[in-house]
Amino acid sequence: MKPELNPKSLQLTAEEWFNLGYDKWQSGDKQGAIADYNQAAQLYSQQNNMEWYLKALENIKKLEK
């Protein structure tokens, strides 16, 4: 199980969440990948980065099939 991140000491970027999602997807952890892509999508949305926001959502849809 992944240790909980303390938001005061460590904040991941949207790109880091996206990459974690990809790594988990490749290793077969679909639920973990979906959770990480959701985090990435939320951050991309806050940054008004619609291109990568939509890529994260697209990957979530693929994983949920």
CA distances to 1, 21, 43, 65 from 59, rounded to whole Å, are 23, 9, 15, 10
Tell the residue number behind the tokens 């005061």, with chain if given.
Answer: 8
Task: Kindly state the tokens that stand for 16.
Answer: 């880091």
Give the DSSP letter of residue 47: T
Q: Do residues 20 and 12 touch, judged by C-beta distance below 8 A?
A: yes
pLDDT per residue over 19-50, tens digit each?
999 999 999 999 999 999 999 999 999 999 99
Task: Kindly state the tokens that stand for 14.
Answer: 């949207």
pLDDT per residue over 9-21, tens digit each?
568 999 999 999 9
